[in-house]
Amino acid sequence: MRTAPETCHRAVSPGRSRRPRDGRPMMRGTLFLVVGPSGVGKDTLIDAARRHLADDPDFLFPRRVITRPADAGGEDHIAMDEAAFRAAEAEGAFLASWHAHGLCYGIGRDVLDALAEGRNVVVNASRHSIRTFEERAGPAVVLSVTAPPAVVRARLEARGREDAADVAARLARQVPLDGAETIIEIANDGDLALGVERFVEALLGAAVLPLRLARAGLEIQGESVAIVHRDARPVAGQRLHDASLVEIAGPGGEAVRARLALASEARIVARDAIALGRAAFDRLGLEEGAKVVVRRSPSPTSRDVLRKKVSGEALSAAEIERVMRDLVEGRYSQAEIAGFLVAASTNLNVDEVIALTRVRAEFFQRFAWDGRLVVDKHSMGGVPGSRITMILVPIVAAHGLTIPKTSSRAITSAAGTADVMECLARVDLSPVELRRVVEETNGAIAWSGRISHSALDDVMNAINRPLGIRSALLDVSSILSKKLAVGSTHVIVDIPVGPHAKTKTREAGDALATLFETVGRGVGLTVRAVVTDGRHPIGAGVGPALELADVVAVLSNAPDAPEALREKALHFAGIVLEWDPSVAYGTGRARAEALLRSGAALERFHAIAAAQGPTDCAHPGLFSRTMPAHRTGTVVEIDGYALAGLARATGAPGDKGAGARLFVAAGERVEEGAPLLEILSSSRRGVDDVGALRTREVFTIG
């Protein structure tokens, strides 16, 4: 690719971390081949650059071996007679050699060692030698020095080496830059200072200029940050600016992308360092002090595809994969990501959702379970106290099926399944630990953050949550991709429907169920989606320790265990057990109830907790307050959203003992002043903070 006759930084690919042709991953330096016809002044530019960068260990200007006497003048070279040169050439002493104007020229093979060490090598080369250099040393940046013919003629005539005919012949000689991948033209048209400035700028712009990796003392939510001093060499050389999107690469090919911030003071970041925020530092996976390079992040190749979706067009599976990979690699601005997600949230067809699900699964660590039938369960949520997963998992595991359940923590609710299980056992399992627990007990109830989480989730959630983007299309893709990644073969989905649940109407619930099952088939999963009544809370407790108490009561067959929670758990467990060919259709629920009543489920629950690792068991808070009915009548409705808000106000889920305990259910008659619920907290303040909340915000009494 030839550029305009000015220094051009459009193609700086050799400055990128790459694998050399011998397959070794390393931070290879950039090989610069300086070429140009006699009279353009390339020797002068090289000498000036050598002086300018004399104290810079990252640059090497090797001397050429020339069959010219040492005292012949011109460039500083290693003199060698022609016989010795031919012998050295035959022995392979040169990386590249060529012959021109009655002389022999060579560059020693030690250049390869310098490149392997990450040094940038500037070679005074011949246009005929470009292909040889690239074949033996890998891609190079060709700095093609040019000057107007009149200027070249004047320079040739001034040095007095050639007669008029020779000068004319040199001016007429045209040599193509054969084999060059990247060419930067340097115009050296008369103003020497300007020519040198252009030449040095080209070197700095395409060179590998390592910086020391450091941790930044700041973090911006949803944005990876890299801080570099304004006087750092890569800043000037690559014309990096505040808020530029840059790529930081390590010696083994590791790379992250981040938004650049420039600092003016060395106390913030040293001139030879780059400080990364926690998220970017952790993703890069290198130690502080490691050498890395920073460069402008190339424009995403999938930008046209992204714009295609924003305009409402359908994408192929390959196009979706291209966009997702560029999203993860940080090649898009937040505005572009937001535009894509807004469009995708309402404008994906089923084939696109299937393709997106497959692609998202590839960003997780994948599990395989030796051909076993592996079951899983998911709830769309929105119903307080619906902790059926923690009852279903031990029932299914006690039966003998494999169920590696990963669950989330609370985002807007008073407790997630992981928060509740953490009251009893560790949930932050690594993938290795998850496999061990499942192999020992058939089941697990673990936090998804260390297992079913990916960089793509981080990118998409950073935009979705602040904008409040809610999309069944994106939700189904996200949920089923996690099930694929964890190795599930069969998945049951609970879709509660109600005015305060996430899914509001039966019609919407049925449509969502169809989408789940269709996409499941498309990615090779057996999915059963069940629309359930989400109008009322299911358990008595709302909050981690209180919900754990309900779970243990059901598993222990306690007479005061919440009946609605028990019945729903048995219903779902029965469906799951009938996926086992040994369980006849219609007998799954009976099998589930037998495992519950016999104590096998409770025993398996404790075995799972023990395998995951016990924690200090959390108990309901010591401070409490009873909330009375504001009137006599029948409880018509319990607002689950308001109830969850009340429980969060007491400190849940951060305070494991905080939350609310219901004393009544919908349909029951109450007297004015009778207790409706109790709020609990581990601190007096947690109770006092919600003292002003009225029960009529939660209960409708008619």
pLDDT tens digits, one per residue of 520-558:
999 999 999 999 999 889 999 999 999 999 999 999 999
Q: How far apart are CA 296 and CA 527, in angstroms?
A: 44
- Identify the CA nearest to 17 among candidates 304, 231, 251, 223: 251
Per-residue pLDDT, averaged over 54-75, amounts to 87
Q: Mean pLDDT across the chain, nearest whole number?
A: 86
Give the pLDDT score at 302.
85
For 566, residues 6+ apart whose C-beta sits below 8 A from its C-beta are 391, 554, 596
Residue reference for tokens 């046209």? 304
Per-residue pLDDT, averaged over 445-465, amounts to 74
Task: Grade residue 687 by pLDDT with cuts at 50, 70 and 90.
Answer: confident
Give the pLDDT score at 24.
35
Name the residue with higher pLDDT: 328 or 168: 328
β-bridge pairing 669-670 and 633-638: antiparallel
CA distances in angstroms from 308 to 76, 321, 324, 329, listed in the order given: 57, 14, 14, 20
β-bridge pairing 65-66 and 103-108: antiparallel
Task: Grade residue 277 by pLDDT with cuts at 50, 70 and 90.
Answer: confident
Name the residue with higher pLDDT: 589 or 294: 589
For 342, residues 6+ apart whose C-beta sits below 8 A from its C-beta are 467, 469
Give the pLDDT score at 168.
58
Record the tokens describing residue 476, joined without a space.
């189904």
Give the pLDDT score at 634.
95
Q: Give 469-482 as a DSSP string.
A: ---HHHHHHHHHHH
Alpha-carbon dihedral sign for residues 553, 557, 559, 563: positive
Name the residue with higher pLDDT: 316 or 224: 316
Helix or strand holding residue 51 (H, E):
helix 42-52
Task: Grade residue 157 by pLDDT with cuts at 50, 70 and 90.
Answer: low
Record the tokens describing residue 80, joined without a space.
């060698």
Least confident of 125-134, 328-337, 411-420, 606-615: 328-337
- Beta carbons of 256 and 224 less than 8 angstroms apart: yes
β-bridge pairing 623-628 and 541-542: unpaired
Per-residue pLDDT, averaged over 386-408, amounts to 96
Give the pLDDT score at 274.
92
Give the pLDDT score at 318.
93
Task: Grade residue 349 by pLDDT with cuts at 50, 70 and 90.
Answer: very high
Record the tokens describing residue 513, joined without a space.
């169920």
Give the pLDDT score at 14.
27
Say whether the peptide bond before residue 537 is cis (omega within 30 degrees of 0): no
Least confident of 9-13, 449-453, 469-473, 588-592: 9-13
Give the pLDDT score at 16.
30
Per-residue pLDDT, averaged over 209-225, amounts to 80
Q: How far apart are CA 489 and CA 491, in angstroms?
A: 7
Give the pLDDT score at 470.
78
Give the pLDDT score at 170.
56
Per-residue 3-state assignment (H helix, E strand, C coil) for 308-368: HHHCCCCCCHHHHHHHHHHHHCCCCCHHHHHHHHHHHHHCCCHHHHHHHHHHHHCCCCCCC
Record the tokens describing residue 111, joined without a space.
């250049």
Per-residue pLDDT, averaged over 277-298, amounts to 85
Give the pLDDT score at 238.
65
CA distances in angstroms from 475 to 75, 87, 480, 524, listed in the order given: 67, 70, 9, 18
Percent share of the chain, pLDDT over 70: 87
CA distances in angstroms from 203 to 34, 41, 317, listed in the order given: 10, 16, 41
Side by side, the strands of the sheet bearing 31-35 are: 59-60, 120-124, 31-35, 140-146, 182-187
Name the residue with higher pLDDT: 466 or 56: 56
Residue 427 has pLDDT above 80, yes or no: yes
Residue 25 has pLDDT above 80, yes or no: no
Most confident of 231-245, 536-550, 676-690: 536-550
Name the residue with higher pLDDT: 167 or 149: 149
Per-residue pLDDT, averaged over 267-296, amounts to 87
- Region at 370 (left for phi over 0; alpha for psi -120 to 50; beta for the rest): left
Give the pLDDT score at 285.
87
Task: Grade residue 485 by pLDDT with cuts at 50, 70 and 90.
Answer: very high
pTM over 0.75: no
- Integer-rounded Cα Rg, in Å, for the chain is 35
Residue 691 has pLDDT above 60, yes or no: no
Give the pLDDT score at 345.
85
Task: Grade residue 465 by pLDDT with cuts at 50, 70 and 90.
Answer: low
Residue 373 has pLDDT above 60, yes or no: yes
CA distances in angstroms from 515 to 151, 503, 519, listed in the order given: 72, 14, 6
Per-residue pLDDT, averaged over 595-599, amounts to 98
Give the pLDDT score at 145.
86
Task: Grade residue 95 by pLDDT with cuts at 50, 70 and 90.
Answer: very high
Give the pLDDT score at 466.
58
Per-residue pLDDT, averaged over 9-18, amounts to 29
| Domains of the chain, earliest start first | 13-206 (3.40.50.300), 211-296 (2.40.40.20), 303-361 (1.20.970.10), 375-612 (3.40.1030.10), 623-701 (3.90.1170.30)
Per-residue pLDDT, averaged over 659-678, amounts to 93
Cα 256 to chain centroid distance, Å, stands at 9
